[in-house]
């Protein structure tokens, strides 16, 4: 049996997810990391697309999804650009 829980992100996970970003990406600058405010926006816009992996109550993983109208004729973009500054406000179901 899988010892972890995979579920949708809830508000109680926002702060632990912010800490997880810092642990997983120690070489990124503060402006390149997702913070609780970003996770709150993602949850508000497309809760079903945001998952968290828990070991008991501890956040140990995270995945995000969103839909966007991607321009294949102009594929170059930064991660921040494609996900609207980590807020996912460009989510387009």
Q: Is residue 93 part of a domain?
A: no
Which residues pair with residue 51 across a beta bridge? 8, 63
Q: Which residue has the tokens 């992100």?
A: 9
Q: What value does the mean pLDDT take over residues 48-59? A: 96
Q: Is residue 91 part of a domain?
A: no
Task: Evaluate if residue 1 carries a pLDDT over 70.
Answer: no
pLDDT given at position 93: 79
In angstroms, rounded to a whole number, what is the distance separating the alpha carbons of residues 52 and 23?
15
Neighbour tally for 9: CB within 10 Å: 22
Query: How many domains does the structure of the chain reveal?
Result: 1
Sheet bearing 58-64, strands edge to edge = 5-8, 50-55, 58-64
Q: Which residue has the tokens 């912010």?
A: 18
Q: What value does the mean pLDDT take over residues 25-53? A: 96
Q: What value does the mean pLDDT take over residues 36-47? A: 96
In angstroms, rounded to a whole number, what is the distance separating the alpha carbons of residues 39 and 88?
9
Q: Is residue 66 part of a domain?
A: yes
Q: Is residue 2 part of a domain?
A: no
Full domain range(s) for residue 38: 10-82
């Amino acid at each position: 049996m899988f010892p972890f829980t995979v579920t949708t992100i809830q508000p109680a996970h926002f702060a632990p997810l912010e800490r997880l970003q810092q642990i997983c990406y120690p070489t990124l600058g503060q402006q390149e990391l997702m913070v609780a405010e970003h996770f709150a926006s993602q949850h508000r816009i497309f809760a079903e697309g945001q998952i968290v992996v828990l070991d008991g109550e501890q956040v140990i993983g995270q995945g995000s999804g969103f839909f966007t109208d991607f321009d294949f004729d102009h594929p170059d973009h930064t991660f921040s650009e494609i996900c609207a500054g980590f807020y996912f406000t460009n989510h387009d179901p």
